[in-house]
Structure 1
Amino acid sequence: MRRSRISAALFAASISFSSAYAEDGAWRMAKPMPVPQSENSSAVLGDKWYVIGGIDVPQTAPVGSVIVYDVKSDSWSHLKDMPEPAHHTATVGLDGKIYVFGGFVGTPGAKQWQPIADAFSYDPATDAWTKLAPMPTARGSAEAVALNGKIYVIGGAHVHEHGREMKEPLWAGVPSIVGTTVEEYDPATDTWRERAPMQAERNHFLAAAVNGKIYAIDGRVGLPFVTKSDVTDLVEAYDPKADTWTFKARSPTRRGGVPGAAYNGKIYVTGGEYQDPEGKRTFWALEAYDPATDTWQTLPHMQIARHGFVAGFIVNEFHVAGGSFQSDGMPGINAQMDTHEVYTVAK
């Protein structure tokens, strides 16, 4: 009798495992990127997905490439490079243009990330870049969100301390700040103004707008480097009319290096990275946040766990590409990928 109960339990467990694994079929592989990339940023305009910059992992140097994915032809093309190569930039699309803010630069082969304040716009119609008024605060690994004709650049890491700009580039032994800074850019006037800061400092996080509010989700705290930082599951919402932030329901998974995008009133969050003395982890979980009910839903996970990648919605298809399948920091290992997956959300 006992043997039969054990067998039944094992059989039931195998069915449960098989069913969960079968859910991966919701994701499909699509045309890979031309080259492996990570720590880049992206924006969607219409049916095209623009991927900006990134990092050359063996050299820790910024990459200035710009590529675009055309969903109609399932193909990638190279566009004009960035005027200033950078990684960990904040990128967003608005009114037919791509806006790119800040990021890190550095000397090839040197372990240094120098935050920059430079801002640019890219016009796909002319394949041309235009330099904009710089951000008041130089920073990298921030998030840019467009809402009501304005662009909000949120959070990130920088080397300002007590109003004094540190000249050293960021690295693990250099004083740095993971900020709560929020600065609003007006494309119509090419001007900036300071807005209410977040309640929680964070970088390597996700921010997205739904129904007139901006939501900041997860992220890295303490330092911008995974080997010297912790991660958070905090979620907070920004109301631009009241210029206030409010905490919301925590996310199911604490993680940094996490991208995502908003679609049909929900925010989809996937992937990410975390390290502790027990191990180095990348995530593949896909979760959706519904601001209307302040609740989370767990969805079928990606086929490849990854962090430091790009994500975006083209209509109801959630695209993810690039990144690293292993948490960074292993000598001699380059885990960058060119893989491209798509998850279809019911309309």
Structure 2
Amino acid sequence: MVSIGEFIYVVGGRLCEYMVPTDNQIVRRELEVRRQVLRYNVRENKWYKCASLIVPRFDFACVVIDGKIYVAGGKRRLSTAMGMASAEVYDPALDEWQSLPEMSTSRHKCVGVAWQGKFHVIGGFAGNNGCIGNMERSSAEVYDCERSCWNLIIGMWQLDIPPYQIVAVDDKLFSSGDCLNSWKGQIEAYDWNQNIWSEVDGSRFEALSATKFVTMAPAGPELYFLAGRRMPDQPSRMTSAVHVFNTSANGDAWRSMEPMEEDGEKELCSHCCVVILRD
């Protein structure tokens, strides 16, 4: 899911069916991998269909650069454990997708971020010829849109566990967890010169540790964390909260919004995105 102007685009993904048998345990059944692309107009509150992906995919990297949507990697079948190396780009003005050169290795559960004008595909379960190696999983592939080519960066992600989210703020990259633990207790920033991730001063925040889900979105110099958790004494109720970290602050960088309580359990299947409406 990404945004361009006043539109939100929902690209590809998995179609799942949820059932509640007699034991009241929710069961998820995966049905298919989608090629469909939907566009939501925030001002009009309406959905529209766009041209479909060339290749159906889920668990892929997706970014916006210069008003175009870039996707890479992911899986095209439910039954396989291997990812893809293919990539494509969508032009909203033409409503069409075009194939891009393939990455050097197949990847799924990789993270995409637009940084320094290039498409960064970071981490993921990666490998070639059926072999998945630690070196590939901790690497990144960078697509140069002007030169139409990929470059491999070894060790850009320090773990062989795929990242959960990586966002860019003021030409810096920030991460808060991996696919096994969406909140690791602190925010980390990437140092391009040393090729390492380091803890951001003042970013430790215990309030996010007990949450059931956390997703992060940048807006200006701030990182917004949308979180939810079960009520300890009422498992059928959820508490949703928003916590904000100011990356440019010197001390007291965290602030929190008033939490909301809701009936029923929610599942967060994707990430959020930011839409800035201008008059």
Q: Does 1:215 align with 2:174?
A: yes
Q: Which amino acid in the other structure matches residue 217 of structure 1?
A: S
TM-score of the two chains, using structure 1 as the length reference: 0.62
Report what 1:306 is aligned to: 267
Report what 1:235 is aligned to: 187
TM-score of the two chains, using structure 2 as the length reference: 0.76
Report what 2:115 is aligned to: 147
8 Å contact kept, 2:182–2:214: no
Report what 1:335 is aligned to: none
The alignment yields a C-alpha RMSD, in angstroms, of 3.2
CA distance in 2, matches of 1:283, 1:54: 27
Query: Which of 59, 64, 89 in structure 1 is aligned with 2:30?
Result: 59
Q: Which amino acid in the other structure matches residue 138 of structure 2?
A: T
Report what 1:188 is aligned to: 146
Matches within 5 A, 1:154-193: 154-158=122-126, 160=127, 165-166=129-130, 179-193=137-151
Q: Which has the larger radius of gyration?
A: 1
Q: Which amino acid in the other structure matches residue 101 of structure 2?
A: A
Report what 1:270 is aligned to: 226
Q: Does 1:100 align with 2:71?
A: yes
- Seq. identity, %: 25
8 Å contact kept, 1:259–1:272: no
8 Å contact kept, 2:86–2:102: yes
Report what 1:336 is aligned to: none
**Structure 1 residues 283 and 89 mapped into 2: Cα distance closer, same or farther (>3 Å)?**
farther
Q: Does 1:198 align with 2:157?
A: yes
Name the one with the larger helix percent.
1
CA distance in 2, matches of 1:72, 1:123: 21
Q: Which amino acid in the other structure matches residue 89 of structure 1?
A: F
Query: Which of 198, 201, 204 in structure 2 is aligned with 1:246?
Result: 198
**Structure 1 residues 131 and 250 mapped into 2: Cα distance closer, same or farther (>3 Å)?**
farther
Report what 2:94 is aligned to: 126
Note the C-alpha offset of 1:165.
3.5
Report what 2:232 is aligned to: none
Say how many residue pairs are matched: 249
8 Å contact kept, 1:284–1:305: no
Q: Which amino acid in the other structure matches residue 193 of structure 1?
A: N
Q: Looking at both structures, which has the greater relative contact order when contacts are Cα pairs under 8 Å and sequence separation is at least 6?
A: 1
8 Å contact kept, 1:283–1:307: no
Note the C-alpha offset of 1:289.
2.4
Name the one with the larger strand percent.
2
Report what 2:8 is aligned to: 49
After superposition, the C-alpha distances for 1:70-100 in whole angstroms (9 at most, x for unaligned) are 1121111111111111111211111010011
For structure 2, the 5+ residue unaligned runs are 17-28, 230-234
**Structure 1 residues 301 and 125 mapped into 2: Cα distance closer, same or farther (>3 Å)?**
farther
SS of equivalent to 2:272:
strand
After superposition, the C-alpha distances for 1:46-92 in whole angstroms (9 at most, x for unaligned) are 11111111112223531111001111211111111111111112111
Q: Which amino acid in the other structure matches residue 248 of structure 2?
A: A
